[in-house]
Structure 1
Amino acid sequence: MMELQIKEKKEFQYVEEGTGEVLLLLHGLFGALSNWQDVISDFARDYRVIIPMLPIYEMPLTKAGVPGLVGYVEEFVAEMGLHQPFTLLGNSLGGHVALVYTLHNPQQVERLVLTGSSGLFEDSMGSSFPKRGNYGFVQQRVAYTFYDPTLATKDLVDEVFNVTNSNIKVLRIINIARSAQRHNLAKDLGRIQVPTLLVWGLNDTITPPIVAHEFHRLITNSELHFLDHCCHAPMMERPAAFNARLRQFLHSTKRQSVVSSVS
């Protein structure tokens, strides 16, 4: 595993590896840059992989919600000077932010990749919020996001536990989780025209398979793939299968755009 180097530019913290066409990756509510470790390892050879650290625990309470996070991504894209359309990937809340970003900035997004995305329905960890200081509860909720509970490593549980021990962080998480539930995108998804890849865990308990089918129905130019023995974070739980689907999608949509520019 490559060690992730966190870079800083103005108020932004991010990871950036590789050169070429940009893949911009957005993590979820309790996510971290490391959630995308296998995508970085596999794709940084051929692509410029960029992951902003979303300011979920630091943003002003008044902005702690989906629109505030979309605004943050817009500022980040401008600061990084990403003028060419890029591929946008999002997991869980990151998928929700990616969808709203695409609706607001259709000319910036060449392709969209969603995995376990909120935006239609989620059984959210934020709304049943942790009893403060209850390690067992946090451990159980983190394990709930994986098909194989052993992936809820002590490091991962400790990270979430430390967050839930801070009242001000918990307030932000609750605001963001409620905002995600309020911002239902069912009426807007028909406006998304870009090629969209949906990769879903067949055993996802947070955004169940029926949610993936609904995204597929509502986003015209979308394809849907399920990964078995996989819950809410396919890029972590089934990295080889996730990356294979992603690579195939990047190649097939590349050909389409090349063909259409020639014809």
Structure 2
Amino acid sequence: MSYEVKQLDKFQYIDVGEGEPLVLFHGLFGALSNFEDLIDRFKDTHRVIVPLLPLFSLDLLSTTVGGLQKYVNRFFEKLDISDMHLLGNSLGGHVALVQVLKHPERIKTLILTGSSGLFENGMGDTYPKRGDRDYIRKKTEFTFYDPKMATEELVNEVFEITNNRLKVIKIIALAKSAIRNNLGQELNGIQQPTLLIWGKNDQVTPPFVAEEFHKLIPNSELHFIDKCGHAPMMEVPAEFNVLLEAFLKKHRSEAK
């Protein structure tokens, strides 16, 4: 990525552009680069902020969805970010949901894509499997509709993570926390306008999950993208950005 990663105390993040804040949360195997096309599109109209979630640097007891939510809340307080459009993919969507439920006053709209929080079809009981590159490649391909999206670079990144014993322990801790932290009983409390963008071929959080989010979140709209998996902003960025832009324009002048 060509954007500078800033450091403020313990927080690392991208912060580009001016305007209403658009904050992006990546997923469990995600990184800042997942949002490259999105940042390029919206940095001229919004202040785009992408914190690097501390998936592997929190102590083990804090390596939970709740621990990540507390971290991002401290980040928002430190940067004094409010009136934001908050977007999360996969585990990042789950963290965004907990944040809006606990601190709705900072958030103007919510955008979820392939979010956990209700149901997710994880990588299987044996995942992550160390030392087996073919296995890691197949599991990385599982994320996308088009297996070619699982580039050698991406497979190498996941392979490196799953060959580190402590990182594997923390991945398992986060995955178990996401399964335990089911938000089905709380979602009707979300008042923010919510955009759901889902891959029609998402195998991790299948389409029925999006439909359930749509049913449970009162002020929500749902859009499916065909021939798309679990990370629409990566796999079909043009279609994703058109939907996001229309939503942001619709809610640009609304009060919190």
Deviations 1:66-119 (A, max 9, x none): 00000010011111121x310100000000000000000011110000000000
Q: Who is 1:78 aligned against? A: 77
Q: Any stretches of 5+ residues in structure 2 without a counterpart?
A: none
Shift of residue 254 of structure 1?
Answer: 2.5
RMSD over aligned Cα atoms: 1.2
Query: Which of 135, 138, 162 is matched with 1:140 structurally?
Result: 138
Q: Who is 2:25 aligned against? A: 26
* Residues 231, 237 of structure 1: 8 Å contact kept: yes
* Residues 196, 221 of structure 1: 8 Å contact kept: yes
Aligned AA (1:79): K
Change in CA separation of 1:205 and 1:20 when aligned onto 2, cut-off 3 Å:
same
SS of 2:205's equivalent in the other structure is: coil
Shift of residue 126 of structure 1?
Answer: 7.2
Aligned AA (1:224): L
Aligned AA (1:152): A
SS of 1:229's equivalent in the other structure is: coil
Distance 1:81 1:31 in 2: 25
SS of 1:90's equivalent in the other structure is: strand
Aligned length: 256
Distance 2:160 2:174 in 1: 18
Shift of residue 127 of structure 1?
Answer: 4.8
Q: Who is 1:16 aligned against? A: 15
Q: Who is 2:122 aligned against? A: 124
Deviations 1:21-58 (A, max 9, x none): 10010000000000010110000001000000001011
Q: Who is 1:204 aligned against? A: 202
Give 4+ residue runs of structure 1 displaced > 6 Å after superposition. none
Shift of residue 131 of structure 1?
Answer: 1.8
Q: Who is 2:113 aligned against? A: 115
Shift of residue 149 of structure 1?
Answer: 0.5
TM-score w.r.t. the length of structure 2 is 0.98
Distance 1:54 1:11 in 2: 11
Query: Which of 235, 251, 254 is matched with 2:252 structurally?
Result: 254
Shift of residue 252 of structure 1?
Answer: 1.2
Aligned AA (1:208): P
* Residues 127, 178 of structure 1: 8 Å contact kept: no
Shift of residue 4 of structure 1?
Answer: 2.4
Distance 1:125 1:135 in 2: 15
* Residues 27, 92 of structure 1: 8 Å contact kept: yes
Distance 2:193 2:106 in 1: 13
Shift of residue 125 of structure 1?
Answer: 2.6
How do residues 84-99 of structure 1 correspond to structure 2 at under 5 angstroms?
84-99=82-97
Q: Who is 1:215 aligned against? A: 213
* Residues 126, 173 of structure 1: 8 Å contact kept: no
TM-score w.r.t. the length of structure 1 is 0.95
Q: Any stretches of 5+ residues in structure 1 without a counterpart?
A: none
Distance 2:152 2:123 in 1: 18
Identical residues among aligned pairs (%): 52
Aligned AA (2:107): V
Q: Who is 1:39 aligned against? A: 38
How do residues 232-243 of structure 1 correspond to structure 2 at under 5 angstroms?
232-243=230-241
Q: Who is 1:67 aligned against? A: 66
Shift of residue 173 of structure 1?
Answer: 0.4
Distance 1:210 1:226 in 2: 11
Q: Who is 1:162 aligned against? A: 160
Query: Which of 169, 172, 180 is matched with 1:171 structurally?
Result: 169
Distance 2:183 2:159 in 1: 31
SS of 2:251's equivalent in the other structure is: helix
Q: Which moved more, 1:246-255 or 1:71-80?
A: 246-255
Shift of residue 59 of structure 1?
Answer: 1.1
Distance 2:147 2:53 in 1: 26
Shift of residue 5 of structure 1?
Answer: 1.4
